[in-house]
Amino acid sequence: LEGQRTFDLLVRFDDPSRSSLEAIRGALIDTPSGARVPLSAVALVEESHGPNVIQHENVQRRIVVSANVSGRDLGHVVQDIQGRMAANVKLPTGYFITYGGQFESQQSATRLIGILSLFSLAAMFLVLYAHFRQVPIVLQILLNIPLSFIGSVVAIFLTGGTFSVASMVGFITLTGIASRNTIMMISHYLHLMREEGEAFDVHMVVRGSLERLVPVMMTALTAGMALVPLVLSKGEPGKEILYPVATVIVGGLISSTLLNTIVTPAVFYRFGRRSAEKYLAGDSEQA
């Protein structure tokens, strides 16, 4: 006891000092006033049964219960454990449970990737706005990102996978590829209006979409074919991280490529007239 505060004290003895309880009770300890008192004056010393090793972390005792996970993903296993512990176990006062190890590292990495994803989207928005200077055009480009995620989620579901750190890396990679395809199409629409005098109408949108269809398809096919060996390597040693990344990217490429050829022209024709005219007017003033 120190004033109104109490704290745990860990005392270690060498082998001769542990020869008897009386020797331990009579061990002298220093007090804040400088006096030395026997240990029995401030503590109850008795012999009892307990663990061979008492582990400590942050000045707190802890008991480690570990297990390996096989056949299921770590996140769902921990969720099941948490649910059963909450339903069936009532901890005494002062006790608490912390889930650590690989699960703790996974949670930390997930939070970090989530924060970096937000920064990546913000950086993409700023770069696109610096070029096009029109928020509607930037939003139309970013619209293809959720379209690509549709295919990724379906691919994860069909392959029996789960959302993990590796799959999140695949999602981040996919955002750049999906945005690039939309940039190619919208930039070509603006090129036709500026350089070839095309009016903003259905004919211009259809022409621009058809002229950019082959480059978009080639980009998707090239990236997809390169990742096919990884997609087919499920369960192979050493591919535990690359497999979910490739699955997410390939699934997203399929959906973004197919939907991009339909959604982007329709959205640009419906909402892009005013922003396209403002963009071209700004180019004319700079020229």
Q: Is residue 88 part of a domain?
A: no
Nearest C-alpha neighbor of 177 from the set 152, 211, 209, 145: 145
| Contact present, 182 and 141 (Cβ < 8 Å) | yes
Question: Are 48 and 125 found together in one domain?
Answer: no
pLDDT at 19 over 90: no
Q: Is residue 105 part of a domain?
A: no
| Contact present, 209 and 167 (Cβ < 8 Å) | no
Least confident of 15-24, 109-118, 224-233: 15-24
Question: Are 32 and 171 found together in one domain?
Answer: no
**Cβ neighbourhood burial of 113 (10 Å; 0-12, 13-18, 19+):** middle
97 versus 161: the higher-pLDDT residue is: 97
Q: In the chain, how many domains are there?
A: 2
User: pLDDT-derived band of residue 78, with 50, 70 and 90 as boundaries?
Assistant: confident
Task: Kindly report the CATH number assigned to the domain that includes residue 220.
Answer: 1.20.1640.10
For tokens 């582990």, what's the residue?
55
Q: Using CA of residue 186, residue 192, residue 197, residue 199, what is the dihedral sign? A: negative
Distance CA 273, CA 154 (A): 34
Question: Are 126 and 4 found together in one domain?
Answer: no
Q: What is the pLDDT of residue 4?
A: 60
User: pLDDT-derived band of residue 243, with 50, 70 and 90 as boundaries?
Assistant: confident
User: pLDDT-derived band of residue 3, with 50, 70 and 90 as boundaries?
Assistant: low
Residue 16, domain extent: 1-52
Q: What is the pLDDT of residue 1?
A: 45
Q: What is the mean pLDDT of residues 198-213?
A: 93
CA-based radius of gyration for the chain = 32
Question: Are 273 and 151 found together in one domain?
Answer: yes
pLDDT at 206 over 90: yes
